[in-house]
A and B are shown apart, each in its own frame.
Chain A
Amino acid sequence: QVQLVESGGGVVQPGRSLRLSCAGTGFPFSRRAIHWFRQAPGKGLEWVAVISDDGNSKYYGDSLKGRFTISRDNSQNTVHLQLNSLRPDDTATYYCTKAFTMFGVASDYWGQGTLVTVSS
C-alpha cells in the first residue's frame, strides 16, 4: 500500500525556518521523483519543488526566490524541504507527491499534507 506521510509543520514566526519531511513506503522510493506542492487556506495549488530519484537534480518554483531547499535520503525513504526566511504568505498545507519522472508525468499519489502557519 502506497503511503506518503508529511511531517514537520507547525506555527513559526516570520523570518524563522522550518524543515518538513516526507516519508514514503509501499513503492520503490529510490526510483521515483518527489514533488512538494502547497495550498494556502481556501486557495489553489502551487508547485514548490521537485527532486529526481537519485537526488542529483532539483528544481524550484520561481516565487520561492532561493528560500527553500529540497533534499532526499533514499536510505531512509525520506525527502526533506527546508524552508528559510519564512513569510506570512508561506502559510499553507504542504503536500509531497510521487511521480515516475520530475516532469512530463503527473503525480499519481499525494500525502495528506502538513500545515505550516507563519505568524507572529
Chain B
Amino acid sequence: EIVLTQSPATLSLSPGEGATLSCRASQSLPSRYLAWYQQKSGQAPRLLIDNVSRRATDIPDRFSGSGSGTEFSLTINRLEPDDFAVYFCHQYGSSPTFGQGTKLEI
C-alpha cells in the first residue's frame, strides 16, 4: 500500500496570502496518478487537480499542482475566504489511498 503523508497538518494563513501544501508518497507513484481534493465541513470532497497538475473543470488557475516521484504539492495563490477547508491528496493506482489531510484555516 502506498502511504501518503501530508504536511503541515494545519496551515494558518490570511486571505490574500499564498499557500503550499505538501504530500509525500512512501514509494514512487505509478504514472502521474496523484489528485488533490478540497473538502468543506459537512460536504463531499471536490476534485481540484488530477494527473499531478491538471485542473479539474471550473477550478480557477489560482490552484496549481506539481511534483513527481514521491514529492507533490498543491499551491493556492491569493487565498480567498472560500478556500479555507481541508485538502486531501489521493493516489489512484490499483489500491487507492489518501493523505490524512491538511486543514487550511484563517
Residue ranges of A at the interface with B (Cβ–Cβ < 8 Å): 35, 44-47, 59, 61-62, 95, 99, 103-113
Contact = CB atoms under 8 A, between A and B. Distances in A.
Given A44-B88, A44-B99, A44-B100, A110 B45 contact: yes
B94 interface: yes
Interface of B: 1, 31, 33, 35, 43-47, 50-51, 56-57, 88, 90, 92-101
Contact of B47 (A106, A111, A112): A106
B35 A113 contact: no
A108 B44 contact: no
Judged by DSSP, the binding face of B is loop
A111 B43 CA distance: 9
Given A104-B31, A106-B35, A47 B96 contact: yes
Given A44-B88, A95-B44, A110-B45, A104 B33 contact: yes
The interface centre, meaning the residue of B31, B45, B51, B57 with most chain A CB atoms within 10 A of its CB, is B45
A103 B100 contact: no
Contacts of B97: 47
Contacts of A47: 95-98
Contacts of A45: 45, 88, 90, 98
Contacts of A112: 43-44
